[in-house]
Amino acid sequence: MSSNSSRRREITVADVAKAAQVSKAQAARALGNYGAVSEEVRGRVLAAAEELSYRPNELARSMNTGKSNTIGVVVGDIENPHFGLATRGITDTAKKSGYNVILINTDEELTAEIEAVHVLLDKRVDGLIVAPASSVETEHLRYVHETGRPLVLLDRKAERLDVETIAVSMAEISYESTRYLLEAGHRRIAFISTLKAGSPYRAGMALDSSQISERLEGMRRAFTEIGLTLSEDQVRLNAGDADSIRNITRELLLMPEPATAIVASDGLIALSVVEAIQELGLSIPSDVSFLMYDDFSWTRLTSPPLTVIAQPVYEMGVAAADALIRQIEGRKPASDGPEFSARLIRRGSVAMARTARV
Amino acid sequence: MSSNSSRRREITVADVAKAAQVSKAQAARALGNYGAVSEEVRGRVLAAAEELSYRPNELARSMNTGKSNTIGVVVGDIENPHFGLATRGITDTAKKSGYNVILINTDEELTAEIEAVHVLLDKRVDGLIVAPASSVETEHLRYVHETGRPLVLLDRKAERLDVETIAVSMAEISYESTRYLLEAGHRRIAFISTLKAGSPYRAGMALDSSQISERLEGMRRAFTEIGLTLSEDQVRLNAGDADSIRNITRELLLMPEPATAIVASDGLIALSVVEAIQELGLSIPSDVSFLMYDDFSWTRLTSPPLTVIAQPVYEMGVAAADALIRQIEGRKPASDGPEFSARLIRRGSVAMARTARV
DNA sequence: ATTATGATTGAGACCGGACTCACAGGGGGT
DNA sequence: ACCCCCTGTGAGTCCGGTCTCAATCATAAT
């Protein structure tokens, strides 16, 4: 029973040094495993440390090494499995290199993100991984960058900011999947996103998110290519909560010329959209085709299983952490870094459009 | 443009003090908002701080206040939406009181958990929330407790350890739902859990998890009550990854006397079980009834929608954080703390057992 | 005018480690 | 025997804040 659970004060090197009858400096060297220490002294010090159940104060250590072995992660919503998985990739990788993760949720709120970044900076994290809420408002990110702190962006790019970014190029996959829908005869293809915007979508309007811009660009390109245009009223933003998603879905499907295909911008949206479709008594894909971003396991369990755009989310988390740690440790990029791309997985939720079939 | 982005060294109080032509002590008081400072000095100091874009070093601050305003959270797997939601509850609540969260994943590995706890302690977090991997091996948790650091357990209890615990009582709901299955005529009711165990399940064997023990106890009680016994070969542990879950499911359904109902111990298991059932060409609930723990949104989208045991996961995260912060701030418990209970949500995945119908 | 009272202020200690520096011994080279 | 160099060691500084303490100052009370 060496559980000398000393009540109040924590044990410090000084205590250990005294117990081992050496100078504080020697004790520190033995414990910190640096400098020159004789076997004899080392033995005594370690024994004393064990006996007192000494534990180093990482705060103190961080303070004068300037390293906290901690990285900050700022995401919009961990509850979203997309970020859950990415976070998992980050923490797994971080742990492997001896880093811990401080996680902050922003609810996709810019002000929360700005505050989060400052808090993390104040805590002297060694680097930051941010999934920026906005691709446009990036002053705070620029500040991080100027400060010299390593920074890696995840999922979304930031305009006019030269920072390593791990994201899949959305334009291409969006183009491809839109073509797929068009070829199935769909002309009224709706796109629903949580992206906050002050006004309803209009072609050419500036969007806050590089991801969404790219996706819309891809859609537009596919339409244009066959001489058509993506109609503005089919693009719905501000699909924040379950209720608004439900309403949007109803609108889209009950309007005079209803959408024949719906694309959900993420898994959370998808849940509510599919539910709303079911509530309307419509069925996928005979009444409406459905396509969603992110390949979650449950998408294989519905009937029909859902056609999805799979993104290597976990791997991107890993890559982001790798990139960040590389920056922190001052190593040059191994190569140009892997390119990540999404792919369309055709399952059963897309069919020929009604109009085309009739 | 006050972006005097000074290259190297960080700005400290000393710098601000010099710029404001006051002593370091005064500058610190003005910045830290403590002690007595004249309006005039405060003004000059704040102006100087702004000008230099001074940011306090939280590490240094923590070091001599002894408070880090950070809580540590140790969970088995954030990728599991169960913990994702709980974590969300924790971070939301923590933020509200000005605390940040350091998150560590253990993969339900005891050694990883032990290490995680020490890392967090070394970083001098103000308190810990742990979802213990084992209800039996709790030395490290006892150590935290002895150390005087506030500790709250989430989801699972720890034996012989008097620590505030936020968990739903599983015995009752398990009893209730087992009765429900029994009344539907099921006799061969299988239970699948990820819980690691050295040997196949046998009645009365010591289990590492209070949750699972309670659930089995509830099942046993329901069986006993009507003069039957829960057969040991229907309880399957070690359902770690998708493959083993699939195999277990096949075994259960292909044995001479197949299970007529399957209970999945969590959402991740459920996914693989349902998938395996579909692969076998069987259908829920006509061939086999299905019941799962955790009410995730997607359970409403399958056909039929799944009958689940809903747990107030988010609320429990909130409660855990509340309890911890209360402890940290030395306040007494408001009341006896809310009791959390799960409830059975009957949807469509449980039907009369075949044998009973014939 | 004088003293008491309280607000301001600066110097310096301190938190708990890491690290610099000066110095003591011991062994190898010549 | 003499010098050099390397290993060991302790004293003390530093990191960037907080906080104690004594000194200073102004104003109110006597």
Q: pLDDT tens, A259-311? A: 999 999 999 999 999 999 999 999 999 999 999 999 999 999 998 999 999 99
> A147 with A188, same domain?
no
pLDDT at position A213 is 95
Q: In sequence order, what are the beta bridge partners of B263?
A: B191, B291
Question: Is A73 among the domain residues?
Answer: yes
Residue A1 has pLDDT above 60, yes or no: no
Residue B1 is assigned to a structural domain of this protein: no
Q: Which of B103, B133, B151 is nearest to A95 (CA)?
A: B103
pLDDT for B335 equals 66
- Specify the pTM: 0.92
Q: Measured between alpha carbons, how far is A316 from A243 in angstroms, rounded to an integer?
A: 31
Place B122 in a pLDDT band, splitting at 50, 70 and 90: very high
Residues B42 and B164 in one domain: no
Q: Is residue A36 part of a domain?
A: yes
Q: Which range in A349-358, B142-151, B331-340 is most confidently predicted, on average pLDDT?
A: B142-151
Strand D proximal to B31 Cβ, under 7 A: yes
Co-location of A134 and A252 in the same domain: no
pLDDT digits (tens, 9 = 90+) for A45-93: 999 999 999 999 999 999 989 999 999 999 998 988 999 999 999 999 9
Same domain, B301 and B322: no
Contacts of B298 in chain A (CB under 8 A): 271, 296, 298, 301-302
Q: Which residues of B touch A302 (CB under 8 A)?
A: 298, 301-303
Q: How far is CA B172 from CA A258, B92, B230, in A?
A: 48, 30, 16
CB B208 within 8 A of CB B134: yes
- Whether the pLDDT of residue A334 is over 80: the answer is no
What pLDDT is recorded for position A318? 97
Q: What is the DSSP string of B21-43?
A: TS-HHHHHHHHHT-S---HHHHH
Task: State how many domains chain A has.
Answer: 3
DSSP A335: S
- Comparing A260 with A330, the larger pLDDT belongs to A260
Q: Which residues of B138-162 are buried (b: 16+ CB within 10 A; e: fewer)?
A: bebbbbbbeeebbbbbbbbbbeebe
Q: Which residue is nearest nucleotide C15, judged by alpha carbon to C1' distance?
A: B64
* Buried b / exposed e along B284-303 (16+ C-beta atoms within 10 A): bbeebbbbbbbbbbbbbbbe
- Alpha-carbon gap, residue B323 to B328, rounded angstroms: 9
B242 domain residue, yes or no: yes
* A154 and A209 fall within a common domain: no
Q: Do residue B228 and residue B352 come from a single domain?
A: yes
Residue B249 lies in a domain: yes
CA of A2 to C1' of D30 (A): 66
Q: What does the block give as tokens for A252?
A: 């889209």
| CA-based nearest distance A315→chain B, Å | 14
Would an 8 Å CB–CB cutoff place A172 in contact with chain B? no
Q: What is the pLDDT, as a whole number, of residue B292? A: 98
pLDDT at A336 over 80: no
What are B199-228's pLDDT values in tens digits?
Answer: 999 988 999 999 999 999 999 999 999 999
C-alpha–C-alpha distance, residues A291 and A273, integer Å: 11
What mean pLDDT comes out for the span B114-125? 96
User: How far B120 CA lies from chain A's nearest CA (Å)?
Assistant: 9
Closest listed residue to residue A103, CA positions, set B358, B347, B75, B30: B75
Residues A295 and A184 in one domain: yes
Same domain for B236 and B210, yes or no, is: yes
Amino acid identity, residue A133? A
Candidates B267, B150, B169; CA nearest to B213 is B169
Residue A249 — pLDDT band, cuts 50, 70, 90? very high
Counts for chain A of helices (H) and strands (E), in that order: 13, 11
Q: Nearest Cβ partner of A59 from B95, B124, B275?
A: B124
The answer to whether residue A334 sits within a structural domain is no
Which chain B residue's Cα is nearest to A84?
B79
- One domain, residues A271 and A200: yes
Give the CATH number, domain containing residue A107. Answer: 3.40.50.2300
What gap in Å lies between CA B299 and CA A302, rounded to an integer? 9
What share of chain A in percent tops pLDDT 70? 96
- Which pLDDT belongs to residue B186? 96
Residue A255 lies in a domain: yes
Q: Tell me: do A187 and A302 sit in the same domain.
A: yes
* A102 with B105: Cβ contact below 8 A: no
Overall average pLDDT of the B133-149 stretch: 94
Surface of B (268-287) touching A: CB under 8 A: 271, 274-275, 278
- Positions of chain D reached by protein Cβ under 7 A: 7-12, 14-20
B55, A122: Cβ pair inside 8 Å? yes
Round to whole Å and give the CA distance between B3 and A143.
9
CA distance A13 to A31: 8
Are B179 and B286 members of one domain? yes
The 3-class secondary structure across B75-139, one letter per residue, is ECCCCCHHHHHHHHHHHHHHHHCCCEEEEEECCCCHHHHHHHHHHHHHCCCCEEEECCCCCCCCH
Answer whether residue A52 is part of any domain: yes
Q: Is the pLDDT of residue B343 over 80?
A: yes
**Cβ–Cβ < 8 Å for A230, A223:** yes
Task: Reply yes or no on whether the pLDDT at B241 is more than 60.
Answer: yes
What domain range includes position B138? 68-168+313-328
Asked if B163 and B304 sit in the same domain, the reply is: no
Mean pLDDT of B324-338: 83
